[in-house]
Amino acid sequence: MEVRTINNTLFFAEVAEQLALGHAVRMRARGNSMLPFIRDGRDVLVLEKPGKDSFRRGRLVLARLLLARPEEDRYVIHRVVKVQGDRLWLRGDGNLKVYERCSRAEVLAEVTEVVRSGRRPSVERSIRQGSWRWNAYRFLWPSHPFLRRVGLALYRRLNKK
Amino acid sequence: MRLKEQFSIRNIGGEYMMVSQSGSGLDYTRVVTLNHTAAFLVESVIQKDFTEEDLIDLLVEKYDVARDVAAKDVQALVGTLLKEGLVEKQE
C-alpha cells in the first residue's frame, strides 16, 4: 500500500469538520516533538472535540497556532503545561525550552487515546487519557530541560537499530 | 458483493478519499484515493449489495459511455477494491 501525506492545512480543515459533526478521528502521528510518548509515523492518535476538561494541565491537545497568513498556520499536538484564563501554554514532551502559547479557541481537539505500535507491527497497545500508562508517560518524564536532554539521549540510544 | 466496512467518501483538496468509519469515528490512517468516477460508483453502493453489472449500468447511465468501456473501468475498480480487501463477495 502506498503511503501519502496530505497537505496539513487541508487535512486539519477536514479533521475540524469531522470533529464539529461529533465524529472522533484517527490519524497517524507525525514529528518528534512528543517523544518518547508519541513516535513519528508509528503511533496513531484518536482525536475528539475538546470538552471543558481538555483545558487542564497534562492534557494533550491539537492547536492551530495562528500566524500572519492562514496558509502558514502551524498545527501542533502538544501537552498543556499551564492554563491562565483563556491562555494556554503548550509544550511537546520532546521539546526542551520551546513553548507555544494559544487561546482556548485555537484548540481544535483533544487527544483521548494513543495507539502505540510494538516492535512487531501486529502488536498494538491502546493508551487512554487518564489510564495509568498515560499517567506514567506524563509524570515519569522530566520537565527540566537538562533532564529531558538526558532522557532523549537515552531513548535514542536504546532505540537505535 | 458488498463493501466490508462503512465508508465515507470525502473530498479533500479536490481528491476523493474513501475513509473507513467505525462506530463514532473516522479512520484517516488508512485511506484510499479515488478518481471522480470511482468515487461516484463507491458512493452509490455504500451499504448496498451490488454486482459488476450494477456498476456498469450506473456508469453508462451517468456518463453516457459505451458499455465495453464502462466494463473495463468497473473491472479495474472492483479488482483494486478486492485486492485491498475493501469489498467481499457473497455467494
User: What is the architecture of the domain spanning B2-88?
Assistant: Orthogonal Bundle (1.10)
Q: Closest Cα to residue A46, out of A135, A95, A144, A114?
A: A114
Check residue A25 and give its pLDDT. Answer: 95
Q: Does the pTM exceed 0.90?
A: no
Domains of chain A in sequence order: 8-158 (2.10.109.10)
- Tell me the pLDDT of chain A averaged across its residues: 91
Check residue B5 and give its pLDDT. Answer: 82
Residues of A in contact with B30 (CB under 8 A): 1
Taking an 8 Å cut-off on Cβ atoms, the answer to whether B24 and A22 are in contact is yes
Q: What is the pLDDT of residues A55-84, one digit of tens each?
A: 999 999 999 988 877 777 889 999 999 999
Any chain B CB within 8 A of the CB of A23?
yes
Q: What is the pLDDT of residues A76-115, one digit of tens each?
A: 999 999 999 999 999 999 999 999 999 999 999 999 999 9
Check residue A1 and give its pLDDT. Answer: 55
- Residue pair A115/A47 in contact (Cβ under 8 Å)? The answer is no
pLDDT tier for residue A119 given thresholds of 50, 70 and 90: confident
Residue with cell 508509528: A42
Prediction ipTM score: 0.83
Ranges of each domain in chain B: 2-88
- Residue pair A36/A43 in contact (Cβ under 8 Å)? The answer is no
- Residue pair A27/A45 in contact (Cβ under 8 Å)? The answer is yes
Q: Closest Cα to residue A61, out of A99, A106, A6, A118?
A: A106
Check residue A55 and give its pLDDT. Answer: 95
Q: Closest Cα to residue B3, out of B59, B77, B66, B67?
A: B77
Helix ranges restricted to H, chain A: 8-20, 132-139, 145-158
DSSP state of A150: H
Residues of B in contact with A24 (CB under 8 A): 24-26
Check residue A4 and give its pLDDT. Answer: 67
Check residue B23 and give its pLDDT. Answer: 74
How far the first Cα of chain B sits from its last, in Å, is 8
Q: Closest Cα to residue A39, out of A115, A131, A122, A144?
A: A115
Residues of A in contact with B27 (CB under 8 A): 26
Q: Rounded to whole angstroms, how far apart are CA atoms A68 and A47? A: 26
